[in-house]
Amino acid sequence: MKIGLTYDLRDDYLKKGLSFEETAEMDSAVTIEELDKTITKLGNETDRIGNIESLIKRIANNERWDVVFNIAEGVYGMGREAQIPALLDACRIPYTFSDTIVLAVALQKAFTKRIVSDLGIPTSVFYSVKTLKQIDSIDIPYPLFVKPVAEGTGKGINNNSIINNSEELEKSCRKLLRKYKQPVLIEKYLPGREFTVGILGTGKHAKAIGIMEIELTMHSPTDVYGFEAKEKCEQFVKYKPLSKGKLYHQMETIALKVHRGMNCRDASRIDFKQDENGDIQFLEINPLAGLHPTHSDLPIICSFFNITYPELISGIIESASDRIDKSLESI
């Protein structure tokens, strides 16, 4: 197969003047090199397309691919992860991972929590506020947790995210509203253990490939798994595989229900945390999980559960190919 690669290279945007935090979700040259090499070794021809601007030019030049392996996070707007898939849909070019609706909704954490709640999955009570005046209507007992409603890679999450009183709430919300220019998600703070579940496949063929626990080390500069800890996870974070047992199977079942209920495709990563009673609560889903071979959570999960990086990438491509073939059969 001829497989195009779409991505946002972090170095490119740093050169354009974006900050280190603004480019947090973008990919390193290491990720692209490893992905390209792996897809080629699996017997495919690769074509590095790059970002949406490059894709537009290539499509306008009547170039096409059997499938596009899309890991582009986008840069601007709360629907940024859906922009390249929308363009590919319009041109009837198949691609890996979830479609435009899933990517747009999953990035908006309040929308996602509403859908997950409708699926009967436990998630902490929350509010989404667009102005400081809306804070007055919040009746969740402290402590609370605040973060931008549509960011990833821990952007906007730090020690100030844990809120103990109304003064801290107003101060943090004001800062987040000004900096990120999007609503703020306010939810009940969950003090328990934190986990992430890796999913591979689509629909009834989806399976949980492993679960790992996330712990901050004593050297971590923050008390939360936010931007700073994620950027330097090798120093500040300890990842541990969760042994199979009651807790594992409970999260496995819930994660698959979220993945299927949200209509995710090919792969995803789903985050959970325990509340004060030890009950599992859904945090968020990433249907476009990072694929750096040693730095991203999904490949790290795979390494704990004896799944090689080539096996992960092969599984994603096979899942996409199977559903693309079925869609062609139905025409």
Strand order through the sheet with 144-148? 126-129, 184-188, 144-148, 162-163
Read off the pLDDT of each residue in 78-105 and give the average, rounded to a whole number. 97
Read off the pLDDT of each residue in 187-194 and give the average, rounded to a whole number. 96
Query: In terms of Cα–Cα distance, which of 224, 226, 85 is closest to 153?
Result: 226
Q: What is the pLDDT of residues 1-22, one digit of tens each?
A: 999 999 999 999 999 999 988 8
Q: What is the pLDDT of residue 328?
A: 52
Q: What is the pLDDT of residues 115-124, one digit of tens each?
A: 999 999 999 9
Average pLDDT, the chain: 94
Q: How does residue 227 score in pLDDT terms, banded at 50, 70 and 90? A: confident
CA distance 235 to 56: 39
pLDDT over 70 for what percent of the chain? 98
Q: Are strands 2-6 and 45-50 parallel, antiparallel or unpaired?
A: parallel
Residue recorded with tokens 């849909």: 89
Read off the pLDDT of each residue in 71-100 and give the average, rounded to a whole number. 96
Q: Which amino acid is at 108?
A: Q
- Looking at domain 125-188, which CATH architecture does it have? 2-Layer Sandwich (3.30)
Fold of the domain built from segment(s) 194-329? D-amino Acid Aminotransferase; Chain A, domain 1 (3.30.470)
Enter the pTM of the model.
0.94
Q: What is the pLDDT of residues 142-154, one digit of tens each?
A: 999 999 999 988 8
Q: What is the pLDDT of residue 174?
A: 96
Residue 144: beta bridge partners? 163, 188
Lowest mean pLDDT segment, chosen from 111-120, 136-145, 258-267, 319-328: 319-328
Q: What is the pLDDT of residue 298?
A: 97
Indicate if the pLDDT at residue 45 is higher than 70.
yes
CA distance 78 to 286: 14
Q: What is the pLDDT of residues 253-304, one digit of tens each?
A: 999 999 999 999 999 999 999 999 999 999 999 999 999 999 999 999 999 9
Q: What is the pLDDT of residue 330?
A: 44
Q: How does residue 327 score in pLDDT terms, banded at 50, 70 and 90? A: low
